[in-house]
Amino acid sequence: MREKTLIVLCIVAAILLAHNLYVILLVLPDEVAQGPIFRIIFLHVPAAWTAFLGFLAAAVASALYLVRKDLRYDAFAVAVTEVGLAFAAANLVTGMIWARIIWGIWWTWDARLTSMLVCWLLYAGYLMLRHAVEEPTQRARIAAVFSIFASVDVPIVFFSIRWWRTQHPQPVVWGGGSMDPAYWNMLFLNWVPLLLLGMVMVVIRLRQERRQRELEALRRMAHAL
């Protein structure tokens, strides 16, 4: 993707974020039971959606790598995983801050929180595993298998609040929870700039993977001389 397209995407994301931040902080009313802290939902939930999208895309790219043995799929898998991990970290931290006010505790080992933490640790492990293997095709194969294995945790995180009794509330999307339409719209509207930002990050990370391969080829050439 060309540099100009990336800059345009960044500008569009920044404008949307500024607009959304204005609406979230100054236009939308406080939630009756929770007060201002409820506004964290507009980052907490879209961050989780972005992370899950990244992890599932990584699983698809990993499966495609195993079938077609094309290293471009491996590059895509690592790019979306790394970006997904950043969004998952944002989701976990905002959740903890929200919990401190609403539940009076930073953390509890309930099914949703624990499965999300396990998910984060699995994908952090995926990135560490890649550093441990030198040979590119072997690294791509092992990482692909691990990514597919780790993706099993994504539906567990998603459905954990339906399958088990948790401290975490019921889902507001396709679940037992409900929300004012104005909140609903903002939840999806704020996902758009986060997705754009995620896309920009993935493109930059993909470019780095390509450069890394070029660098390895140059190193081999330098050794041969």
Partner 1 sequence: MDERNFLYMFYGFLAAWLILALYLVALVGRERRLQREMDNLRRMIEEKHREAS
- Name the CA dihedral angle for 31, 37, 38, 41, rounded to a multiple of 10 degrees: 160
CA 168 to each of CA 17, 50, 121: distance values in angstroms, whole numbers, following the listed order: 27, 19, 20
How far is 184 from 195, CA to CA, in rounded Å?
Answer: 17
How far is 5 from 141, CA to CA, in rounded Å?
Answer: 32
Site string for partner 1, 109-138 (x = CB under 8 A): ------------------------------
- Supply φ then ψ for residue 110, to 5 degrees: -90, 170
Given candidates 8, 125, 162, 214, which one binds partner 1 under the rule CB under 8 A? 214
Given candidates 1, 5, 18, 36, which one binds partner 1 under the rule CB under 8 A? 36
Q: Is residue 169 close enough to count as binding partner 1 by CB under 8 A?
A: no
Count the alpha carbons within 13 Å of 26 in the hemisphere toward its beta carbon: 5
Interface of this chain with partner 1, residues 61 to 120, rule: CB under 8 A: 83, 86-87, 89-90, 93-94, 97-98, 100-101
Enumerate binding residues for partner 1 (CB under 8 A). Answer: 34-37, 39-40, 43-44, 47, 83, 86-87, 89-90, 93-94, 97-98, 100-101, 197, 201, 204-205, 207-208, 211-212, 214-215, 218-219, 221-222, 225
